[in-house]
Copies of this chain bind each other. A is one copy, B any other.
């Protein structure tokens, strides 16, 4: 199976679904990470181009931990818009990787504008990758992927439908978060905490909700037609 996560900024995938990606990886599936914007307002000292270059390098290092394919769309941070060009870029990335599962921000529940637009674009282009009359650099693919929305930053306003226990991939998630040194330095300076500190607070709460130590959580995008579960039954878990 192939799983792609799309992040609005260079560290969102790490913060919100890296534990789940690592779990898929550990079971032998292929992973890709797509970053929409170049994170180019995230520095107190550098220029936009300088910080963008730093953040791309950090994000590539993080993706390398999972052996993930990496796509960098390079949009302007905080100014992501749904345009025909960007839709075609997203369709093209989906055609190149041909994922079975796509993880992205929730178009309806997320509150950050770049997150909302990312989720909206993924949703709006959902059925387009196999449509041959929509032209992009890559040829149409066969597959239509399943979309799952990941949690919001600080869990604000999100209502989880499905939890993934990431206790056994928690260390990998932390290593990926720690690749983002430029952000850690800044946050440490202003707030006295790192990305991993905040991520731990959120993953612990999600774990408390799911009866495990660390968890990530997701909502199903209600596509048409709607998928049935893998084995055709209800996705039940044996009692803990």
Contacts and interface: CB of A to CB of B under 8 A. Distances in A.
Nearest to A84: B79
Q: Is the interface of A mostly helix, strand, loop or mixed?
A: loop
Nearest to A47: B133
A11 to B, nearest CB: 15
Contacts of A42: 133
A224 B48 contact: no
Contacts of A53: none
Contacts of A113: 123-124
Interface residues of A, number: 81
5 contacts: A1-B236, A41-B131, A143-B239, A201-B201, A201-B207
A80 to B, nearest CB: 10
The 4 residue pairs across chains A and B that have the minimum distance between CB atoms: A211-B225, A235-B235, A205-B205, A113-B124
A95 interface: no
A235 B229 contact: yes
A227 B239 CA distance: 8
Contacts of A170: none
A40 interface: yes
Interface in A122-169: 123-124, 128, 131-134, 143-144, 146, 148, 153-157, 159-165
A236 B146 contact: yes
